[in-house]
């Protein structure tokens, strides 16, 4: 039979062997077209008397990488994955799956429904559905335990972890590992089935030994480790049903799957998945980046050494510049410590660590030694005079065409660029601490930054394994600008009646990893104190000022590092600082405020409304390209809970009109802080959504 070119599924017959190839680039997602064509092909081959064995494989970089996530949330169209799996498993003709690349979710379910599985060396398998708020819905929760046992299936399905072919073989998820092209291995595997050298069976006919203790233990653990997440417990429920006869188990799985499909967490998690990929769709996308071979970093402090570590881990040679030998030594020690951490986490070999420190990392106190770098990142402290002086010097020494980047978190990059004769080469690359771990990189585009320099910023992020988000110049860019705004809400709430711990608890209940007062204690309260003192002269007269944090700092309590801050750190768990409660009471009294109570819901509402409001202003001013860019900044740089999708996604779940109403209510107490952003007003008037702005 001739191949049907351009089809998502093609059939090729070689005597009594039939090869079925899936070809749906880029990742062979199990779209409706693939499900339908696969069903049709298998049914036809099963009825074909000439065919004695079928081998199913995929073209391109991977076997089926899962369900087509773009179809989630849309009305499902049969045949469903579960139907395709039933067709495969029930076929009278033996079917062997030959898998490669990332065989995930629906791809692994298809493979488990075949009668034998051969994986190419290097294959990765897993059930990532839980990370998208789902359970495997194509029989995975029923067939996986039948080969791996309940404990291993729970581990795979509730975590979404990906494992290599060798581990998959040990667990029984695959039968053999082979090397060669998928098509060649498909032919050899089909031949092995015919000769009896590769055994076939129907996994659905196996039985699972009940293990109520494992089910109870998983439920218990997940209650502690994933208290906010809906899907992990649902995975346990589905796996527990695998002790039933296969069709009953599949019916239970289907009901649970549909429950997950309908959950708001599923929509948020899918949004987060696409957010990660949407942010690189920028106006400069088609512009080729400049060559990036050697990097330079100026400043060996926390940020500079973190950035240098990230670049070294990505394989770049880096020259680190500092003003004196002592600072250089500190920087080098910090980098060595970061690399040690990478060795401990299994990300780096001991030999590679030594190699990086002896050959890839160079240090200097002379900026002239950076001349040959393709891109230099300045990461000295936040002082405009120091930065402009450095950029003036870089202008004199760097080779033509080098990208001159600043890691400033707040300062005006146009002013920094103006200190050079080549403002087109200047860009902001705002890393987040610890820079070798945090995934976010704000690529800040100044007025004169050229398109290829922007493209180079994005190319660098990719090489560093980071998620780049395009931002415009303003005080704090996307993330810090929005954060400076909503952070004030915490102080206002404390002054008006909430305790810091009640605010932390409410926001942790919403899903933030750590409440804002705990974060303050961790970061050191003295940092924000210094910045408040610096900005005191320019603070708007109408802005409400809450002096509580100043009083805490005046007492010498800077948070964890001094043993006391909003909390006292004298035992295994921090406890609220009673002296802070006294300061709060005094300040309220001085201001004539009678404290009122705030429910957790009201705390979260005010906090999130402030975040969304400033997000809307950032969008309106063109600082962020789309709402999804703001979501990505908060998801990947500020610990916003993934299952909430990001602040702008969350905004749509409330609705623009309701948000406007909230702001108007809050404005009755503080009309300076709470103003309705024009964009939100427009969306409320038109019944518009932030999601629609992503699509524009
Ligand atoms: N459905 C629809 N589209 C998908 C997809 C899926 N399951 N998986 C990936 N894509 C798309 C991506 O959005 C991207 O599209 P774009 O180029 O338009 O942005 C493209 O395929 C390539 O994906 P990308 O992640 O950039 O490629 P990669 O090689 O780095 O990684 C995977 C490939 C398969 C490992 C990764 O995409 C992945 O983890 N996908 C999700 C798998 C999954 O969760 N499956 C179970 C679904 S229930």
Q: Quick check: is 281 in a domain?
A: no
CB count in 10 Å sphere of residue 346: 7
Q: Check residue 533 and give its pLDDT.
A: 86
Mean pLDDT of 63-92: 93
Alpha carbon of 27 to ligand 1 centroid (Å) = 6
Catalytic residue among 52, 71, 109, 247: 109
- CATH number of the domain residue 416 falls in: 3.40.50.720
Residue 290 lies in a domain: no
132 lines ligand 1 (CB under 6 A): yes
Residues 301 and 438 in one domain: yes
For residue 351, what pLDDT is reported? 95
Name the residue with the closest Cα to ligand 1, atom 34: 65
Residue 405 reports pLDDT greater than 90: yes
Residues 375 and 451 in one domain: yes
Neighbour tally for 213: CB within 10 Å: 10
> Region 74-87: what's the mean pLDDT?
93
437 within domain boundaries: yes
Q: In this structure, is residue 452 part of a structural domain?
A: yes
User: Which of 8, 24, 27 to mutate for ligand 1's pocket (most ligand atoms within 8 Å of CB)?
Assistant: 27
Compute the distance from residue 657 Cα to the ligand 1 centre, in Å.
Answer: 35
How would you label 36-45 residue by residue, b for 16+ Cβ within 10 Å and e otherwise?
bbbbebbeeb
Q: Is 293 a catalytic residue?
A: no
Candidate list 129, 284, 501, 614, residue with the active-site label:
129
The confidence band for 1, taking pLDDT boundaries of 50, 70 and 90, is very low
**Does the CB atom of residue 29 touch ligand 1 within 6 A?**
yes
- 446 and 485 in a single domain? The answer is no
Would 70 be classed as within a structural domain? Answer: yes
| Judgement on whether residues 198 and 239 belong to the same structural domain of the protein | yes
pLDDT at residue 460 in the model: 98
Tell whether 202 is covered by a domain.
yes
- Give 69 Cα–ligand 1 centroid separation in angstroms: 8
pLDDT of residue 353: 96
Average pLDDT (577-604) is 97
Name the residue at shortest CA distance from atom 15 of ligand 1: 277
Domain termination residue (choose one: 427, 448, 471): 471
pLDDT band at 440 (very low <50, low <70, confident <90, very high): very high
Q: Is the CB of 66 under 6 A from ligand 1?
A: yes
For residue 292, count other CB atoms closer than 10 A to its CB: 16
Residues 464 and 493 in one domain: no
**310: pLDDT strictly greater than 90:** yes
**Higher pLDDT, residue 433 or 33:** 33
Q: In this predicted model, which residue has the larger pLDDT, 535 or 128?
A: 128
Same domain, yes or no: 451 and 529: no
68 lines ligand 1 (CB under 6 A): yes
**How many residues would you count in the chain?**
696
| CA 311 to ligand 1 center in whole angstroms | 25
Ligand 1 atom 33, closest CA = 27
Q: Which domain holds residue 128?
A: 9-267
For residues 66-91, give the mean pLDDT: 92
d(CA 599, CA 621): 34
Mean pLDDT of 2-24: 87
445 plus 494 within the same structural domain:
no
Whole-angstrom distance, CA of residue 20 vs CA of residue 10 = 6
Place of tokens 């404005």: 667
Pairing of strands 116-120, 162-164: unpaired
Q: How confident is the model at residue 70 (pLDDT cuts 50, 70, 90)?
A: confident
* Domain C-terminal end among 471, 491, 526: 471
* Beta carbon of 277 within 6 Å of any ligand 1 atom: yes
Asked if the model's pLDDT at residue 3 lies above 70, the reply is: no
CA angle 81, 172, 237 (to 5 degrees): 55
160 lines ligand 1 (CB under 6 A): no
State if residue 34 touches ligand 1 by the CB under 6 angstroms criterion.
no
Residue 657 belongs to some domain of the structure: yes
> Does 261 lie in the same domain as 334?
no
pLDDT tens-digit profile of 253-273? 999 999 999 999 999 999 999
Res. 185: pLDDT tops 90: yes
Whether 288 maps to a domain, the answer reads: no
Note whether 182 and 222 are same-domain residues.
yes
Give the Å distance between the CA of 278 and the centre of ligand 1: 12
**What span, in angstroms and rounded, lies between the C-alpha atoms of 325 and 111?**
59
How many domains in the chain?
Answer: 3
| Rounded CA separation 690/696 (Å) | 10
Q: Does the beta carbon of 500 lie inside 6 Å of ligand 1?
A: no
Last residue of a domain, one of 425, 448, 471: 471
Residue 663 has φ and ψ, to the nearest 5°, of -60, -40
- Across 325-346, average pLDDT: 96
Which has the closest alpha carbon to 489: 510, 512, 517? Answer: 517
Radius of gyration of the chain (CA): 29
Does residue 497 have a pLDDT over 90? yes
- Ligand 1 in contact with 110 (CB < 6 A)? no
Residue among 33, 64, 65 to mutate when testing ligand 1 (max atoms within 8 A of CB):
65
Per-residue pLDDT tens for 214-247?
999 999 999 999 999 999 999 999 999 999 999 9
Residue 471 token pair: 């931002």
Whether the pLDDT of residue 4 is over 60: the answer is no
**111 within ligand 1 shell (Cβ under 6 A):** no
How far apart are alpha carbons 500 and 225 in whole angstroms? 24
Q: What percent of the chain has pLDDT over 90?
A: 92
**pLDDT at residue 69 tops 90:** no
Q: Are 202 and 343 part of one and the same domain?
A: no
The pLDDT value given to residue 5: 52
Which tops the pLDDT comparison, 595 or 530?
Answer: 595
Asked if residue 200 and residue 303 are part of one domain, the reply reads no
What average pLDDT is seen over the chain?
95
pLDDT of 383 reads 86
Task: Please tell me if the CB atom of residue 108 comes closer than 6 angstroms to any atom of ligand 1.
Answer: no
| Residue 631 CA to ligand 1 centre (angstroms) | 19
So what's the pLDDT on residue 527?
A: 77
Q: What is the CATH number of the domain that holds 564?
A: 1.10.1040.50
| Residues 488 and 453 both lie in one domain | no
C-beta separation of 10 from 23 below 8 A = yes
Characterize the bridge pairing of strands 162-164 and 124-126: antiparallel
pLDDT at 394 over 60: yes
The answer to whether 129 is a known catalytic residue is: yes
**Range with lowest mean pLDDT among 165-174, 529-538, 606-615, 671-680:** 529-538
Lowest model confidence (mean pLDDT) among 90-104, 513-527, 640-654: 513-527
Nearest CA-CA partner of 265 in 135, 80, 74, 155: 135
Distance CA 313, CA 477 (A): 27
How sure is the predictor about 2, in pLDDT bands with cuts at 50, 70 and 90?
Answer: very low
The DSSP code sequence of 152-167 is: HHHHHHHH--EEEHHH
Atom of ligand 1 nearest to the CA of 127: 46
């Amino acid at each position: 039979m001739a191949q049907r070119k351009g089809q998502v599924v093609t059939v090729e017959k070689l005597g009594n062997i039939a090869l079925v190839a899936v070809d749906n680039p880029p990742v062979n997602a199990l779209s409706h077209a693939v499900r339908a064509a696969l069903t049709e092909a298998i049914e036809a081959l099963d009825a074909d008397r000439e065919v004695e064995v079928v081998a199913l494989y995929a073209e391109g970089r991977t076997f089926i990488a899962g369900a087509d996530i773009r179809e989630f949330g849309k009305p499902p169209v049969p045949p469903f994955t579960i139907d395709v799996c039933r067709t495969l498993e029930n076929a009278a003709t033996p079917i062997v799956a030959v898998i490669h690349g990332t065989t995930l979710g629906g791809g692994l379910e298809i493979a488990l429904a075949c009668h034998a599985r051969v994986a190419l060396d290097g294959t990765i398998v897993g059930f990532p559905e839980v990370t998208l708020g789902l359970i495997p819905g194509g029989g995975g929760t029923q067939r996986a335990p039948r080969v791996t046992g309940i404990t291993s299936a729970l581990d795979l399905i509730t975590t979404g972890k990906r494992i290599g072919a060798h581990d998959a073989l040990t667990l029984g998820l695959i039968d053999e590992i082979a090397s060669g092209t998928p098509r060649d291995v498909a032919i050899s595997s089909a031949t092995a089935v015919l000769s009896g050298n590769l055994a076939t069976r129907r996994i659905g006919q196996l039985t699972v030994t009940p293990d109520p203790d494992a089910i109870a233990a998983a439920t218990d653990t997940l209650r502690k480790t994933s208290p906010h997440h809906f899907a992990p417990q649902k995975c346990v429920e589905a796996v527990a049903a695998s002790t039933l006869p296969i069709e009953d188990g599949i019916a239970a799985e289907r009901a649970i799957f549909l429950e997950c499909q309908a959950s708001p967490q599923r929509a948020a998690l899918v949004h987060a998945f696409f957010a990660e990929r949407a942010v690189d769709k920028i106006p400069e996308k088609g512009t080729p980046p400049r060559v990036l071979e050697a990097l330079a970093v100026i400043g060996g402090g926390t940020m500079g050494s973190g950035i240098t570590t990230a670049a070294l881990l990505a394989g770049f040679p880096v020259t680190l510049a500092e003003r004196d030998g002592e600072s250089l030594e500190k920087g080098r020690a910090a980098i060595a410590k970061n690399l040690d951490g990478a060795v401990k986490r299994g990300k780096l070999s001991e030999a590679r660590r030594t190699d990086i420190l002896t050959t890839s990392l160079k240090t200097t106190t002379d900026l002239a030694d950076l001349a040959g770098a393709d891109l230099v990142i300045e990461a000295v402290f936040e002082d405009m005079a120091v930065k402009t002086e450095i950029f003036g010097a870089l202008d004199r020494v760097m080779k033509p065409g080098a990208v001159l980047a600043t890691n400033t978190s707040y300062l005006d990059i146009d002013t920094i660029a103006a200190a050079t004769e080549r403002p087109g080469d200047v860009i902001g690359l705002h890393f987040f601490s610890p820079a070798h771990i945090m995934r976010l990189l704000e690529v800040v585009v100044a007025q004169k930054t050229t398109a290829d320099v922007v493209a180079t910023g994005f190319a660098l992020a990719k090489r560093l394994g980071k998620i780049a988000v395009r931002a415009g110049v303003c005080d704090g860019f996307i993330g810090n600008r929005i954060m400076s705004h909503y952070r004030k809400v915490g102080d206002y709430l404390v002054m008006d009646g909430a305790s810091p711990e009640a605010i932390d608890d409410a926001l942790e209940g919403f899903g933030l990893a750590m409440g804002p007062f705990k974060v303050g204690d961790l970061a050191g309260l003295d940092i924000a104190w210094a910045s408040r003192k610096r900005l005191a002269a320019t603070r708007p007269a109408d802005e409400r000022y809450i002096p509580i944090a100043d009083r805490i700092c005046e007492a010498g309590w800077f948070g964890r590092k001094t043993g006391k801050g909003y909390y006292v750190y004298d035992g295994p768990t921090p406890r609220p600082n009673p002296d802070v409660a006294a300061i709060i009471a005094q300040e309220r009294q001085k201001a004539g405020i009678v404290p009122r109570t705030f429910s957790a819901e009201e705390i979260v509402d005010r906090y999130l409304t402030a975040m969304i409001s400033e997000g809307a202003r950032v969008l309106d001013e063109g600082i962020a390209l789309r709402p999804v860019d703001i979501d990505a900044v908060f998801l990947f740089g500020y610990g916003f809970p993934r299952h909430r999708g990001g602040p702008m996604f969350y905004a749509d779940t409330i609705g623009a009109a309701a948000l406007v109403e909230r702001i108007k209510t809050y404005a009755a107490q503080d009309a300076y802080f709470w103003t309705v952003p024009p964009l939100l007003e427009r969306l409320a008037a038109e019944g518009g959504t932030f999601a629609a702005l992503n699509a524009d």
